[in-house]
A = this chain, B = another copy of it.
Amino acid sequence: MSSIHDKKIIIAGAGLVGSLLALRLLQKGYQVEIFESREDMRKQSISAGRSINLALSHRGIEGLKLVGLSDQILPHAVQMKGRMIHTLNSELLFQPYSIRENEYINSISRRTLNIQLMDAIEKWDVKINFGNRLSHFSPEENKFTFTTKGNLKNELVDCCLIATDGSNSIARKFMLDRSAELRMNYNQKFQDYGYKELTIPPGEHSKFLLEKNALHIWPRGHFMMIALPNPDATFTATLFLPFKGEQGFELLQNTSTLRTFFHKYFTDALPLIPNLEEEFFENPTGHLNSVKCSPWHYKDQILLMGDAAHAIIPFYGQGMNCGFEDVVVFDQLLDQLSNVEELFQQFESSRKPNADAISDLAEDNFEEMRDKVSDPVYQRKRALESQLEKKYPNYYSKYALVTFRPDVSYSEAMIKGRLQDEFLLKICADQTEFNDIEMMKIYNHLQSI
């Protein structure tokens, strides 16, 4: 029986989740060794505005609070208080995420966040082994090997490895190679959609050219564009298109079809993206894939965490938040359990239903964002929910449960949220205005769900 207190913990992957986990484990006094396949991002310059931003929300903030960094990191974010819908004829429609004051999401650069976490790790006099790729695992010897580009090998024995090496996890591949032994269920799924990142630069005097405190959406039914603000007054826009068919990437092969396409569907955005052609034809087309698997651990030797265990598509803005919540839950379990394998098993038991739930919710939300947000019934439902929130501070929409209520698990939020939506959409299909008594009845029914 191996105790987590006696083991060196290897963290494979110093991305957001790996860095947060490493920092927390260092704070708790564990012996930690950190490896990262990429080079140190702090030594590489990336032009401003080209960094990808993420939506940090309450579950993720809990993770930052755990390591005492939320106050230091949040000032680097831009608050997004709701969705700004851009209609086909360039009208704007604002849908607040919540009526409660502290309930907004935060656009933050992945790079900034990761650097803050890495800097905090190094204050513990621990160095991150950059440029070291997990290359081999020998279960019999309980040995992990990391290899540098120059083919230098780092071999570690009798440790346990927590794999935070992302959606293409190498550690997960090691486990897949032992599928029969583990009876490993594994499901990877690619969307028929890809994405392309585009930049909206600032106006004169560093002016934001769209409403600063909003997540902008151009919902177009089978496709959409979104844009998130950055502190430097740029926006990072992301265009989501199917690969095939009408309005698919395959038909946008030259400047003129691209321009015609943007002119028709993103009229108000077109003048804001001066480098449209270069960016569209030079930036890679991103994929959207998800992974569900089980088990998440191999004996007491490997545990998958974050995207390595449960990669999801980005449409609920919860990938990082879910990963940070993994760390919060793992931290709690560390106080209760010391047997490594039991700890790993309990972690999966606790997190797997919630990771599955947010994955399913993210799939639903893609349809919601690209299509339903512009539907009149849906819009009436959102308006009614805002009224409910105003009148009954206890009312939480599905989005608010998922995004602002870390005390409610993703799976509870999914079940409750879906039932609420079903009920409200039915009501709003027939009726546009609600008086106080009707509102009370609606609220009472929602409370009973």
Which of A187, A188, A192, A289 has its CB near the most chain B CB atoms (within 10 A)? A188
Interface pair A189/B180, CB less than 8 Å apart: no
Nearest chain B residue, comparing its CB with the CB of A179? B188
Any B CB within 8 A of the CB of A416: no
Bound CA span A190–B294, Å: 10
Note all chain B residues with C-beta closer than 8 A to A189: 185, 187
Which residues A246-267 have CB closer than 8 A to chain B?
none
Note all chain B residues with C-beta closer than 8 A to A187: 186-189
Q: How far is the CB of A312 from chain B (nearest CB, A)?
A: 15
Nearest chain B residue, comparing its CB with the CB of A194? B183
Any B CB within 8 A of the CB of A287: yes
Q: How far is the CB of A273 from chain B (nearest CB, A)?
A: 26
Any B CB within 8 A of the CB of A184: yes
Bound CA span A266–B243, Å: 56
Q: How far is the CB of A92 from chain B (nearest CB, A)?
A: 35
Q: Which of B168, B180, B192, B287 contacts A287 (CB 8 A)?
A: B180
Interface pair B188/A184, CB less than 8 Å apart: yes
Interface pair A188/B190, CB less than 8 Å apart: no
Nearest chain B residue, comparing its CB with the CB of A180? B287
Secondary structure class of chain A's binding surface, majority of residues: strand
Note all chain B residues with C-beta closer than 8 A to A243: 183
Copies of this chain present in the complex amount to 2
Note all chain B residues with C-beta closer than 8 A to A185: 188-190
Interface pair B183/A186, CB less than 8 Å apart: no
Nearest chain B residue, comparing its CB with the CB of A189? B185
Which residues A416-446 have CB closer than 8 A to chain B?
none
Which residues A158-194 have CB closer than 8 A to chain B?
168, 179-180, 183-190, 192
Q: How far is the CB of A77 from chain B (nearest CB, A)?
A: 30
Q: How far is the CB of A343 from chain B (nearest CB, A)?
A: 20
Nearest chain B residue, comparing its CB with the CB of A183? B190
Note all chain B residues with C-beta closer than 8 A to A190: 179-180, 183-185
Bound CA span A243–B192, Å: 37
Q: How far is the CB of A257 from chain B (nearest CB, A)?
A: 23
Note all chain B residues with C-beta closer than 8 A to A183: 190, 192, 243, 287, 289
Note all chain B residues with C-beta closer than 8 A to A184: 188, 190
Q: How far is the CB of A444 from chain B (nearest CB, A)?
A: 39
Nearest chain B residue, comparing its CB with the CB of A288? B183
Residue-wise, chain A 285-310 has the 8 Å CB interface mask toward B (1 for contact) of 00101000000000000000000000
Nearest chain B residue, comparing its CB with the CB of A188? B186
Q: How far is the CB of A242 from chain B (nearest CB, A)?
A: 12
Which residues A277-336 have CB closer than 8 A to chain B?
287, 289
Bound CA span A184–B179, Å: 18
Note all chain B residues with C-beta closer than 8 A to A180: 168, 190, 287, 289
Binding site for B on A (CB under 8 A): 168, 179-180, 183-190, 192, 243, 287, 289
Kindly list 18 other residue pairs between chains A and B, CB separation below 8 angstroms, not including A184-B190, A186-B187. A168-B180, A179-B188, A179-B190, A179-B289, A180-B190, A180-B287, A180-B289, A183-B190, A183-B192, A183-B243, A183-B287, A183-B289, A184-B188, A185-B188, A186-B188, A187-B187, A187-B188, A187-B189
6 contacts between A and B (CB under 8 A): A168-B180, A180-B190, A180-B287, A183-B190, A186-B187, A187-B188
